[in-house]
Amino acid sequence: MTKENKITKNQLEKIKKILEVFQICDSTFPIGTFNHSYGMETYLRDNKVTDNDSFEKWLGTFLQTQFKWGEGLLVKLALEALQKGNVEKIWQYDKEITLSTSAIETRKGAKLIALQMIELILQIYDDDSPEIKLVKEYQEKINNDKAYGNPAIVFAIFMKYKDIPAFESTCYYGYSIVTTMVQNAVRTIPLGQKSGQRIMHDIFDVVLKLCEEISQLDERYLGANVPGIEMSQIRHETTVFRLFMS
């Protein structure tokens, strides 16, 4: 390898950081998201989501509403609060996003996924950094019923730990949502794996556009929603036979 082509230490560290982010974003990261459809199963039971096109339409609607004003915006707001050292804002957002969620299953699902994510992060990254200490504090608050628990907040703390900017962090979180929902659709509709990958690729432009829009929003929009998505999540609670927890 010539001197010009030599890989620098900074390059290696940058690549490792991105790989570690993608590990957290991967749909196989075992935090329980594969058990949740966030209302998609209700549309499946109603024969409104039946194939590639109808699922892609549902996913786009979910991203443009519940993701945009919910966990997508929460990642951005939480990171901004962390960058200002305003930890109390984190607990405020935790309360606001939970109380604005009508479906009991969705609230419970967010808590369980947050706790699973915390547990894994602490197993992999157990150091004395302020962010890891904050993850531990969040875990204690959730377990002692002093916080509700949301994976977007855990993710934001981890992004602060990895020094990833807010816009990029929101995009990565959108990627994690898309990959998980596509894999869940592949299993249940069912979709072919190739069809799932095409949908995932096509929806990336939507995710990027939404993340640009999220970058312009403030906390007044946190928790806004649309009736159809919420009603599907509420109705899922009384479904006799189901494949997902929410």
**So where are the chain's domains?**
48-236
Fold of 48-236: Urease accessory protein UreF (1.10.4190)
Task: Provide the token pair at 6.
Answer: 């030599």
The predicted-structure confidence for 126-181, as pLDDT tens digits, reads as follows 899 999 999 999 999 999 999 999 999 999 999 999 999 999 999 999 999 999 99
Q: Which residue has the tokens 């949908």?
A: 199
Residue pLDDT, tens place only, 70-85 = 999 999 999 999 999 9
CA 14 → CA 21, 76, 96, 156, distances in Å?
A: 11, 22, 34, 18
**pTM of the full predicted structure?**
0.94
Q: What tens digit of pLDDT does each residue of 173-184 get? A: 999 999 999 999
Q: Contact, 223 vs 72, CB < 8 A?
A: no
Residue type, 104: I
Per the omega criterion (within 30 degrees of 0), is the bond before 227 cis? no
Nearest residue to 154 (alpha-carbon basis) of 116, 189, 181: 116
186-232 per-position pLDDT tens digit: 999 999 999 999 999 999 999 999 999 999 999 999 999 888 888 88
Q: Which two tokens stand for residue 32?
A: 């329980």
